Amino acid sequence: MVEALMIAGFVLAAYSVVANDSIQTLGTFIASNRHRPWWVLWAFSSSILLLVLVYGWVTSGGDPSYGRLDKFPPPAGGVSWIHVAAPLVLLFLTRFGIPVSTTFLVLAVFAPQNIESMLLKSVSGYLVAFVTAIVVYGFVVRRLTSHFRSTGDTPAAGYWVVLQWLATGFLWSQWLIQDLANLYVFLVRPLPLSWLLLSIVVLLVMQGVIFYQLGGRIQRIVTSKTMTSDIRSATVIDFIYGIILLVFKEWSNMPMSTTWVFLGLLAGRELGMRLHVGGHLLATWRAIGSDAGKALAGLVVSVALALGAIATT
């Protein structure tokens, strides 16, 4: 029974996390490459997924999460229904296009005592991304952004395609290192080769579904923002996001909400662009508040599930 719950939890988490969280890293990639066959984009992301997973598993002694589960020991009685409930809730919220934090929602149930540390790191990530985006888009790349807007109908030069695919690969690898813990927390540790291979098959299939659906409902969060379908603008977003994740990866092994970092980046970007492009600041602040409210709603649900896990032990 415990093994069945482990597999069920992993599969549900794989789809839920991929559908909800991976759009943060692949959303701009999908939006700016909609003219390409979905399987080409899937093959590219899958190759990076394989490299990151196998490298982490080999170098970390059978731990694909890169040591981010060190403070999340397996439950004493094994995976139970309350642990599987977390990705189920995430799957439900994803269907409504709500970008909740999968890190809080999944990991908090396994180790409620780590909520404070995860929250501190995640809030820090949001603020750093928010301020960085305001500075970059409001001042540093001001002329570049104006150029993107004025030449939006002109096909981008070929080197932008290369740059964007490099930026996406870099960002995707950093996101995987941060968020693989949300999946492999359900499985045995260290992870046997047979389980690794099974998990890879599951993840590749889930990735295929997401690319076939062109991102699903969460993709609207990305496409609703200014110029995210412009391959040049998408490249800048991906590089900034990837660098921020790299910095926080080196900070500590404590998992953090990449959703919050992504929302902070998009919020700061929108505000920074409005400062020099013009537009309705009130509408921008409302959009920022709406996205932040959805993230906070996910945190409330996470804490409720964590308390449920404490009550059942």
Alpha-carbon distance values, 131 to 9, 135, 249, 296 (Å): 36, 6, 19, 19
Give dist(CA 225, CA 293) in Å, integer: 17
Mean pLDDT across the stretch 134-162?
68
* Residue 285 pLDDT exceeds 80: no
Higher pLDDT, 203 or 158: 203
Q: Write out the DSSP string of 191-257.
A: PPHHHHHHHHHHHHHHHHHHHHTTT-TTHHHHHTSTTTTSHHHHHHHHHHHHHHHHHHHHH-SS---
Can you give the pLDDT at residue 192? 93
Can you give the pLDDT at residue 219? 46
Q: Tokens representing 151?
A: 């030449």
Q: Please tell me the pTM assigned to this model.
A: 0.78
What's the number of CA atoms in the CB half-sphere (13 Å) around residue 157? 4
Average pLDDT, the chain: 77
Can you give the pLDDT at residue 103? 77
- N- to C-terminal Cα separation, the chain: 18
| 73 Ramachandran zone, left/alpha/beta (phi>0; psi -120 to 50) | beta
Q: What is the pLDDT of residues 149-173, one digit of tens each?
A: 656 566 667 788 888 889 889 988 9
* Residue 53 pLDDT exceeds 50: yes
Q: Which helix (H) or strand (E) element contains residue 13?
A: helix 2-31
Of 96, 298, 68, 56, the closest CA to residue 196 belongs to 56
